[in-house]
Chain A
Amino acid sequence: MVSSVSGAAAIVGVAETDYLRGAEQTVPELILSASMAAIRDAGLDPSDIDGVIPPPGFISTEEIAANLGMPEVRYSITVHMGGASPTAALQSAAMAISGGFAEAVLVTLGWNGYSAMRPRPGVKPSRRKLDLGPVLETSRNFYAPYGMYAAAQWYSLYLQRYVDLYDVQPEDAAEIALACRAHAHLNDKALMKGRELTLDDYLASPRIAGPLRKFDCCLETDCAAAIVMTSTERARDLPNHPVVYLGGAEGHPYPADEITNRPELLRLGLDFAAPRAFAMAGVTPSDMDFLQVYDCFTYVVMMELEALGMCEPGGAKDFIKDGNIRLGGKYPMNTHGGLMSQGHCWGLNHVVEATRQLRHEAGAAQVADCELGVVTGYGDLGDGSLAVLGRDR
């Protein structure tokens, strides 16, 4: 089936705040400043925005519209897929635009992932929280009472199986962390710019849960990002080179709200979604010039690479070798440093980076002459999303 959405909408504005450990601004301030900057980057006024997709929690469409000055919001929806939400939101934005429900859609996300997720001295608790709705009931009854309330522990329920099944060693997974760090050194906004990370540092880092060490885990960050999407036709009259939404999809493991009773423990959302997105875009995984892969944890990235079809199940440990995912390699990955070393903005920073790459404005991290790239999202208990993006002709 040929999709009427493929190619119809394009990203025209992007922005991100600094990535901070302890922001002075509130979460709404971070979100509003990134949103305003993305709208300005698109060459638009807030009054041109008639669709808003806010994050699950923290702030509402109504507050964003009232604070920035959007007198006529015609379309609003929130995606509840944890870290898979922002990338999944792109498909809703593209559908709204191609279906005529909205002309210009803002997708934004911000949070206080450093300041609020666990007690910090001197940090005042905020009423504004992440909405964990989809997994709250199962996690509070069946995981949290067992001292399992963090993503590192939940995901280890299948990551442990993954490493055992395919004999994945820490020395294999380390390359994900080291490649992200190498790329972060090129990015002025990266939290870890200039902070060296060696294989010895990685191997010496303390264990957290299951196969995960400290340096298998992404950063706790205070930050926000935003993107603006409009029709590809209109995008060609705006200041930036359009970055076209060629294909996308979301997927959910089954059952999505509970890990232990899944018939297939290693079949996650992205396994369902990836083939649909590439088919919609009319391209194959090997056509990608770069990969921006949701890197909450190293081993999750390996499972995602396999789900994308970059390699066979169990093949990620070989796929990432020999500089293949580093700048200069065949599939440069997380060229901004990722959640691991730039900062954790739920992968909306991956969308921002993919857009900069396809505009050919990625500075020292530019993948020369890139025309196609993929962004993935991953969240809750293994939900997945992806977007195949292309440089407009």
Chain B
Amino acid sequence: MARTPTPGRKYIPATEGLNQEFFEQCSGGALHLQRCRDCAEFRHPPRYYCPSCFSDAWGWEPATGAGKVASWVTTYYTVDRGWVGDVPYTNVIVELDEGPRLLGALRGMDVDDLVLGLEVVIVGETKRDDFVFFWVEPSPADG
């Protein structure tokens, strides 16, 4: 545990392909998800064919961002320079009301208050035109 690196900048990926399209859709402020034009299922992460009906017809649709806590992980130790100053930090898997699950960083609530099924909301922060960072916050309905 001796070598803790000095803090640095947080990693922002150079996105491409379908993932870049996803982030570009979300960069306007509202979460968007990929949806099959044939069977109407939402999916994430973006895929070229629908895993349910194998269709290649799809589009982007706005999502509410509302969902429920499906799992979470707290990191106590990292050598990631962008995050050494943030430990312990918690990331949450949110099961969105549309179906897919999304990982985001916990903000605005205590990790001890997390329970499976808790209603939360995904809030996007546009870091660059082609990348949006997702926060997981308490549902406004609870506030």
| Interface membership of A363, Cβ < 8 A | no
Contacts of A145 in B (CB 8 A): 10-13, 131, 133
How many residues of chain B get a CB closer than 8 Å to chain A's CBs? 39
Partner of B75, one of A118, A153, A158, A258: A153
Contacts of A161 in B (CB 8 A): 71
Alpha-carbon gap, A255 to B75, bound state (A): 24
Contact A207 B5 (CB under 8 A): no
Contact B77 A209 (CB under 8 A): yes
Say yes or no: A142-B103 contact (C-beta < 8 A), given A157-B73, A209-B74: yes
Alpha-carbon gap, A231 to B104, bound state (A): 51
Contact B76 A207 (CB under 8 A): yes
Contact A260 B101 (CB under 8 A): yes
| Interface membership of A100, Cβ < 8 A | no
CB distance from A120 to the nearest CB of B (A): 8
Contacts of B103 in A (CB 8 A): 142-143, 146, 148, 260
Partner of B73, one of A137, A153, A206: A153
Which of B70, B73, B105, B133 has the largest number of chain A CB atoms within 10 A? B73
Contacts of B82 in A (CB 8 A): 147
Partner of A210, one of B73, B78, B86: B73
Say yes or no: A206-B44 contact (C-beta < 8 A), given A145-B131, A146-B105: no
Alpha-carbon gap, A172 to B94, bound state (A): 29
Say yes or no: A142-B73 contact (C-beta < 8 A), given A119-B5, A147-B86: no
| Interface membership of B139, Cβ < 8 A | no
| Interface membership of B93, Cβ < 8 A | yes
Alpha-carbon gap, A153 to B82, bound state (A): 15
Alpha-carbon gap, A260 to B10, bound state (A): 22
Contact A210 B13 (CB under 8 A): no
How many residues of chain A get a CB closer than 8 Å to chain B's CBs? 33
Which of A145, A156, A208 has the largest number of chain B CB atoms within 10 A? A145
Contact A261 B77 (CB under 8 A): no
CB distance from A135 to the nearest CB of B (A): 12
Query: Which chain A residue shows the least CB distance to B76?
Result: A207
| Interface membership of A47, Cβ < 8 A | no
| Interface membership of B19, Cβ < 8 A | yes
Alpha-carbon gap, A147 to B100, bound state (A): 21
Alpha-carbon gap, A161 to B75, bound state (A): 15
Contact B71 A160 (CB under 8 A): yes
Contacts of A158 in B (CB 8 A): 71
| Interface membership of A214, Cβ < 8 A | yes
Partner of B101, one of A153, A208, A261: A261
| Interface membership of B72, Cβ < 8 A | yes
Contact A206 B80 (CB under 8 A): no
Which of B19, B78, B82, B131 has the largest number of chain A CB atoms within 10 A? B78
Enumerate chain B interface residues (CB-CB to A < 8 A).
Answer: 1, 3, 5, 10-13, 15, 19, 23, 43-45, 51, 70-80, 82-83, 86, 89, 91, 93, 100-105, 131, 133
Q: A146-B105, A260-B93 are in contact. List 7 more A-B contacts (CB 8 A).
A: A142-B103, A147-B83, A147-B86, A149-B80, A153-B78, A209-B73, A255-B51
Enumerate chain A interface residues (CB-CB to B < 8 A).
Answer: 118-120, 137-138, 140-150, 153, 156-158, 160-161, 206-210, 214, 255, 258, 260-261, 265
9 closest A-B pairs by CB? A147-B83, A207-B76, A156-B73, A260-B101, A209-B75, A118-B79, A210-B73, A140-B13, A141-B19
